[in-house]
Amino acid sequence: AADSDTDYGDFDFIVVSNRLAVDRVTDDEGNSSWRRSPGGLVTALAPVMAKTDGAWVGWHGAPDEALDPFDEGNMRLVPVPLSEDEVELYYEGFSNATLWPLYHDVIAPPEFHRTWWDAYRRVNERFAKATAASAAHGATVWVQDYQLQLVPKLLRKARPDLVIGFFNHIPFPPLEIFAQLPWRRQVIEGLLGADLIGFQRPSDASNFLRCVRRFLGHTIRQQQVQVPADGDAPAYVSRAEAFPISIDVNAITELAKRQDIIERSREIRRELGNPKHVLLGVDRLDYTKGIGHRLKAYGELLEDGSITVEDAALIQVASPSRERVEQYRLLREEIEGAVGRINGTYDTMKNTAIRYLHHSYPVEEMVALYLAADVMLVTALRDGMNLVAKEYVAARTENRGALVLSEFAGAADTLRQAVLVNPHDIDGLKSAMVTALNMPPAEGIRRMRIMRRQVLQNDVERWSQAFLTALRNGSAGNSDA
């Protein structure tokens, strides 16, 4: 009765994320079109959403443009507009120059600005409002990632009938680092609006729970937080648990078996001059990915003669990302400088040391690259999960190839047969690359087979089912409506 004047929407299931699966791009002539959005979140959620008839609430990637909801496949896309200013303050500022570096072990120094925080609050309110307007009575809403941490609490307040989940795709930092955030209480309270808060790794969940205890003083039993009553709002239980994310395994393995893609992978090797070894790195151009450390190690291997440009070629795909954020500009200078120095020193008329590609590619080309590569290099300094590592493993249908994988990526929790490495240790990184390059075939096959079994059994469908089942079961016990 309390919400008799609430306007309910039509959807029983809603995903909310900063980005929709598609980005609106406008070319020089002013023609606009849609393009798939970058990053792991969309990689994971697009196949999940394609199978449910729910709504996806998110930004469509262009500033100062209000679009009506539209249908794509069997889902409804609900665009949330951002002004030019909000792109700068909420997206580039608070999300990607405050939270992103803070949550990734302060690899780059986070900046704290009150104007950014104000915009973050304002935009989170807009997302919560758009979601509330689309949600049917009792609907399940699943909020995604660090850009929208205030949405769960705002939604719970506006719509106590909803079942609210949250998933954090990136790491949750240790208390000692999170403590720097001037708005740490508000962020934790925002997240606790969810009935279930999902993290990539158990350590992320326990970092979060430590922060809840320290900064809010709530009672915690195992992974359950007792959130006390607040005015009219009743007390409830919010839970924090790990749900490691994955990929659409079938989509990747199907592509890996397609004749034209296999042929394309051969062509890639031919175009490189058929070297004995092809190594591959695929990352958004982001300072968390450890691309500079990887290049340093590779350069030293060329210098000491462990590898030669005739025998080995490194393909480094660095897809453009957050290009107006200062740290990303600096990184691009640094990486392109390093590539230029190494190629300038070791290239011959015929061979090049590093094939550097500042592009993003469709998934078909990505799979061709995975098939072309003997060694995949994932050397992130910190990464929530890293889905490129899982995609490489899924694509290796013949169980050949080696994965060099950073201990600091969430994927290292499960892909134990990779050549695991601490990317800060340049000598360790060099020897990991050499180990991968010289892995005896039988040993390589044994390792890849175990990793493939792991990835094939845990695809993204299973991830979303596990989360949503836990969300619905737990919440049924909680509701005293």
Write out the H or E segment, with its range, that includes residue 396.
Answer: none
Maximum alpha-carbon separation in the chain: 78
Q: How far apart are CA 391 and CA 389, in angstroms?
A: 6
By the rule CB under 6 A, 99 interacts with ligand G6P: no
The 8-class DSSP code of residue 398 comes to T
Identity of the residue, 8 or 361, whose beta carbon is nearer to ligand G6P in the bound complex: 361
Q: What is the CA angle 24-465-361, rounded to 5?
A: 30
Cβ–Cβ under 8 Å, residues 284 and 386: no
Q: How far apart are CA 295 and CA 164, in angstroms?
A: 43
**Piece of the chain touching ligand G6P by CB under 6 A; list 33-41, 129-137, 273-281, 327-335:** 33-41
Identity of the residue, 324 or 449, whose beta carbon is nearer to ligand G6P in the bound complex: 324
Cβ–Cβ under 8 Å, residues 388 and 378: yes
By the rule CB under 6 A, 444 interacts with ligand G6P: no
Other Cβ atoms closer than 10 A to 479: 13
By the rule CB under 6 A, 156 interacts with ligand G6P: no
The 8-class DSSP code of residue 182 comes to T
Closest CA to 21 of 3, 2, 47: 47
The 8-class DSSP code of residue 379 comes to -
By the rule CB under 6 A, 169 interacts with ligand G6P: yes
**Piece of the chain touching ligand G6P by CB under 6 A; list 32-40, 124-132, 233-241, 458-466:** 32-40
> What is the smallest separation between the CB atom of 37 and ligand G6P, expressed in angstroms?
6
> Of residues 169, 293, 374, 459, which has the active-site annotation?
169
Q: Which residue is nearest to ligand G6P (CB)?
A: 39
Q: How far apart are CA 444 and CA 225, in angstroms?
A: 44
> What is the smallest separation between the CB atom of 296 and ligand G6P, expressed in angstroms?
24
Q: What is the pattern of x (binds ligand G6P, CB under 6 A) and - over residues 103-142?
A: ----------------------------------------
Identity of the residue, 144 or 352, whose beta carbon is nearer to ligand G6P in the bound complex: 144
Whether 383 is catalytic is yes
How far is CA 179 from each of CA 103, 151, 175, 238, 382, rounded to the nearest angstrom?
11, 21, 6, 21, 19
Whether 248 is catalytic is no
Interacting residue with ligand G6P among 16, 55, 139, 170 (CB under 6 A): 170
Identity of the residue, 19 or 430, whose beta carbon is nearer to ligand G6P in the bound complex: 19
Joined together, the tokens standing for residue 282 give 């695929």
Interacting residue with ligand G6P among 40, 165, 171, 275 (CB under 6 A): 40
**Piece of the chain touching ligand G6P by CB under 6 A; list 39-47, 193-201, 253-261, 326-334:** 39-47
Q: How far apart are CA 139 and CA 121, in angstroms?
A: 24
Name which of residues 66 to 95 contact ligand G6P (CB under 6 A).
none
Q: How far apart are CA 438 and CA 440, in angstroms?
A: 6
Identity of the residue, 41 or 155, whose beta carbon is nearer to ligand G6P in the bound complex: 41
Joined together, the tokens standing for residue 73 give 């496949």
Identity of the residue, 92 or 374, whose beta carbon is nearer to ligand G6P in the bound complex: 92
> Of residues 145, 204, 248, 383, which has the active-site annotation?
383
> What is the smallest separation between the CB atom of 374 and ligand G6P, expressed in angstroms?
27
Query: Could you list the residues that contact ligand G6P (CB under 6 A)?
Result: 18-19, 38-41, 145, 169-170, 321-322
Which active-site residues does the annotation give?
A: 169, 383
